[in-house]
Amino acid sequence: MKSDIWLAAGAAAVGTLLIRMLPLYWIQRRWQRAEGKETIMPSWPGVLAPLMIAALLGISMVPQNTGTEGWSATMMGSLVTLLIWHRTRTLGLPVAFGVAAYALVRMGGS
């Protein structure tokens, strides 16, 4: 692989680590400073996680190929994901079936 791909993968890994580690570190420090006092959990960590997931969902909903095939595959994968989630209420199976549906539509159109 070229070095720019490794650099991009490394940057993504560090960014992913930081968005998880920094809020945890900040809250732990806050609790250590308030040792013995009543501390209230701030509301922003509870809001931040769903916002990050929504941002990732928004980015992933726009297909790389913006033609009919790309949009069809994205819509089919999303629909299958939602249907399986509604039926099972789990995380792993809906993603696996959604990715499989996306791949089947993409391979069928090629």
Encode pLDDT of 61-70 as tens digits.
777 777 888 8
Quickly state the pLDDT bin for 14 (edges 50, 70, 90).
very high
User: What are the tens digits of pLDDT across the range 22-39?
Assistant: 888 888 888 788 777 777
As given in the structure block, the two tokens for residue 15 are 């960014």
Would you kindly state where each structural domain of the chain is located, as residue ranges? 1-60, 63-110
Distance CA 89, CA 83 (A): 10
Contact 80, 101 (CB under 8 A): yes
Distance CA 67, CA 73 (A): 10
pTM of the complete model? 0.50
Query: Which amino acid, one-letter code, is at 58?
Result: G
